[in-house]
Amino acid sequence: MDIYLTNLTNSDRLRFPMLPTQVSIKMANQFANYTILSIGEVRLPSGTSLDSISWNGILPGQKRVGAGAPYIFDWQDPKAIYRWIEQLKTQYGKPVKARLLITESPINCDVYLSSFTGTHTGGYGDINYSITLIQAKDIKISTSGNQAKQDRQPTTAAAPARPSPPAAKTYTVKKGDSLWKIAQSFYGKGSAYSKIFQANGGVIGSNPNLIYPGQVLTIPG
């Protein structure tokens, strides 16, 4: 088994020179608390929390390598490894994404560095360390460009529809009729006869007092 951590910003890869005795993986569901009358407090699931992967290990000093330890691979100066891991904290104000691979296990995922502490110990010049990594789950939000444009466009209120003018009526002149009498019948006042006269100039002629039975007059609204 080997543990590799790759900085995805520059593709620089670190192989941990000594394997830890165990690797811990923490997975948990998230719950939200609600208080409901007559029932009390209840806990309902609200998603899953990010997985965390952690272990404690040793960055071996050079004297340990000189002692012929067979369990050390690709030895590097522990101070250099310490600085390499420190670079995963932040870059340009953002955490650096890395790729964690533990061979002979299902662990092969993108992670962020959650915490890293180291303690220099005497004797071999080792650094005892503790590391915790959080699985990287980026959230992508996509918005339809056309929909966004539509949302930004101001809405224009539709102009109120104009009422249609009342339809014109027709009236056939009877014996004894006059424009005054016809206007009185349709408009309630004889003085409105001029409307009928103006609408029927081609039928009546130039004299509003001369109308004849059988003439069909247009009665405007």
Give the position of tokens 């130039």: 206
In a domain, 140, yes or no: no
Helical (H) or strand (E) element with 89: none
Do 130 and 188 fall within a single domain? no
CATH code, domain carrying 209: 3.10.350.10
Instruction: List, for residues 27-53, the tens digit of each pLDDT value.
Output: 766 555 555 555 555 555 555 555 788
Number of folded domains that form the chain: 2
Question: Are residues 84 and 187 located together in one domain of the fold?
Answer: no
Highest mean pLDDT among 18-22, 24-28, 29-33: 18-22
Q: Domain range holding 210?
A: 169-219
Q: Which of 81, 116, 135 is the last residue of a domain?
A: 135
The answer on 188 and 123 residing in a single domain is no
Query: Residue 153 has what DSSP assignment?
Result: S
Q: Answer yes or no: is 60 within a domain.
A: yes
Query: Which residues are CB-neighbours of 50 under 8 A, at least 6 positions away?
Result: 134, 135, 137
pLDDT digits (tens, 9 = 90+) for 46-58: 555 557 889 898 8
128 and 173 within one domain = no
